[in-house]
Every structure is written in C-alpha cells, then in structure tokens.
Amino acid sequence: MDKLTIRQPDDWHLHVRTGSILKTVIGHTARQFGRAIIMPNLKPPVTTVAQALLYRQEILAALPPGSAFQPLMTLYLTASTPVEEIKKAAEAEHVHAFKLYPAGATTNSDAGVADIEAAYPLFAAMEKHGVPLLIHGEVTDAEYDIFDREKIFIDNKLSKLTQQFPALRIVVEHLTTHEAVQFVEAAAENVAATITPQHLLYNRNAILAGGIRPHYYCLPILKREHHRQALVKAATSGNPKFFLGTDSAPHLTSLKENSCGCAGCYSAHAALELYTEAFEQAGALDKLEGFASFYGADFYGLPRNSASVTLEKQPWTVPDVYTDTDVTITPLRAGEQLLWRLVGA
C-alpha cells in the first residue's frame, strides 16, 4: 500500500508547554490532529478550572491562522485539590479530565500525589461526577528498579484503585509493559490506555546501544523487546481500550543533551508518520484508523472527527532541529528518513 486515508485522528496525551516553546510546537500537532488532551504539568501546574481556561486561550492564540484544532484541557491533581474543584471540572465545557502524577515520577511532577490512598475522596468525587482520571502509572520509591516501576504500580496501587472505585473512568497513560497490557485488557470497559509511538517502535536498546541517546529517553522508560511486542499487539488488535496518545514532550535541546538530561521524546512533528510506520511493520494498516481516530473519541464521549487525512509513501528526512527565536528542539528521529508523509499538511 502506497497511500492511506483515514478519519482525522486526535492525540489523547500531549505536552505543548507555554510561551515560546508552545508557539514553536503547536502547529505540528494542529496540522495532523483535530483535538488533543493537553497535559497540565506546567510551572506552576494547572490545578484549577480558571487556570485551565486561561491556558486554553494561550494555546488557541498560538495556533496557525485558520486552524480548527481544539485543545482539551486537564487539571493537575494534588493532595490539596478541593473536592469542589472536581464538580467545577465536570461542569466546565473545556475541561475533560484530571491527571495523576505520582510525586517525582516525571517532568514537573513534584507537586503530584505522594500518597494515592489519601486522595481517595477525590477519586470518589470523580467517580460520582463522571470525570476521567488519567494516570502516570509508576511508583517512585528509590528501592525499585526503574524498569519495574510500572508493573509495581499496577500491582500495588492501580489494582486496589480500580477495586475501590469500579465505575471511575481511568486512562492508564503511555503503557510500556506486557503486564500493563494484560491489566487493561482484563479490566472493566471504563479502564483504557494510551500508547506512544516511541514505545511501539523502540526497545531500551534505542537509548543505550552504541552510546547514550538522550532524545530516546522518556518516562516511563523504554523496556525490553517482548514488552514492545506486547504493545504492538495491543495497539493493532482492534481492541477499543487502546488508543493513540503521543506523550510528545518538547524540551530544549540544551536540556536534553545535558549532564542530567530531562525525560521526554518530541514526536509531534511526525506523529502520524511514526504510528503508520509501526502499524505497517506489524502488517496492520487496516487497524490504524480505529486506534488513531475512533477509540479515544468514543471513550471520552466526543464525536468522531468528520474530516480526513491522507498519508503517502513518500520518503523524507526529519530535520536535525526545529528552531524559532530562542527555542531549539531536537525531534525524535532527527536527521533520519521516514517512509510515510502526511499529504497537504
């Protein structure tokens, strides 16, 4: 197949930052996706409906002229989030979920929740009001190996959470392990998951083999090959519990190529091309539309997009960097060739 047309997709997990970085990256997402769930881990974090609506206005103002892209806002859950804010979020047209970061799990997560059980009253309110909970599923205790943190979180935290709140709508973000796939598959229909392009395409060799490659470093970290294969099988299965979420995370090149480089892969520049590559490798291009365009919208109770996008087999080379004034960002696959290209974008 040399050409593929699908319903316009959405990105159900996206970082766009703020200020000059936002202005540099937002056009990459807007040319491909109709909507995106916007992560709230700014400095300071987006913790209230009022803050989320202001952030939404900043994103809309940064869009290319004529863009129809719609940001779907989320709130950052903290130990001090008032229960009343959850009711406000449920009533707010443009707020679609709360995000749970275990404290210290990833970029700008220091304000996250240290004791998940202490947040149970908040989860009860989300369950009552039908507000989805988006979870970065890793433990952060120093005694646990970084490659095991997702599995331990599922075993010790998430299993108990889903039992305690059986009707709570949960998205387990950026799955990385075979065990996480099994958990989501076995859970009730109100539990779903997003999968990133880097976790579909790469195992941990991409970070470490032949030298440390910081632009493949993300959290949760890339895992062994059998975990990657489990993710590909889930994404291409046609199971509506699994849908697209890039977790595209723009960081300045100077902060990635650093003695203490930050976590996150910037993939928004070629998100659909990367997913198409992964699905083609699996012989499952016919499953891409459901994963990219249908299942996430269905889970969030939103209409599927009416527009379509087309990709063609048209090799192109990813730029080494994307720059704008004081911003320089190195993208995933910088300087390498991709075989698919989005047409007319």
Strands (E), the chain: 3-7, 11-14, 35-38, 70-76, 95-100, 133-135, 170-172, 191-195, 242-244, 308-317, 322-324, 327-329, 337-342
The reply to whether 215 sits in an annotated binding site is no
Find tokens 């996430």 and name the residue: 296
- Please give the C-alpha separations between residue 140 and each of 47, 193, 199, in angstroms, as whole numbers: 22, 20, 20
Helical axes 49-62 vs 19-30, angle rounded to 10°: 70
Q: What is the pLDDT of residue 327?
A: 96
Please choose, from the candidates 67, 14, 5, the residue with its C-alpha nearest in 3D space to the C-alpha of residue 39: 14
What pLDDT score does 260 carry? 85
How far apart (Å, rounded) are the C-alpha atoms in residues 253 and 76?
Answer: 26
**pLDDT per residue of the chain (345 residues) written in tens, 0 to 9:** 899 999 999 999 999 999 999 999 999 999 999 999 999 999 999 999 999 999 999 999 999 999 999 999 999 999 899 999 999 999 999 999 999 998 766 665 667 788 899 999 999 999 999 999 999 999 988 899 999 999 999 999 999 999 999 999 999 999 999 999 999 999 999 999 999 999 999 999 999 988 999 999 999 999 999 999 999 999 999 999 999 999 999 999 999 999 888 999 999 999 999 999 999 999 999 999 999 999 999 999 999 999 999 999 999 999 999 999 899 999 999 999 999 999 976
Does the annotation place 99 within a ligand binding site? yes
Output the pTM of the full model.
0.96
**What distance in Å separates the CA atoms of residue 201 and residue 25, rounded to the nearest whole number?**
22
Residue 243 CA to residue 69 CA, distance in Å, equals 19
Report whether 41 belongs to an annotated binding site: yes
CB 272 within 8 A of CB 345: no
Strand-pair category, 95-100 with 191-195: unpaired
Q: Which fold has domain 10-307?
A: TIM Barrel (3.20.20)
Check whether 209 is labelled as a binding-site residue.
Answer: no
Extents of the domains making up the chain: 10-307
The reply, when asked if residue 110 is annotated as ligand binding, is: no
Q: Which of 190, 184, 147 is nearest to 168 (CA)?
A: 190
End-to-end CA distance of the chain: 20
Quick one: pLDDT at residue 102?
Answer: 85
pLDDT, position 121: 95
> Amino acid identity of 120?
Y
Catalytic residues: 247
| Identity of the amino acid at 123 | F
Gap between the Cα atoms of 57 and 263, Å rounded: 27
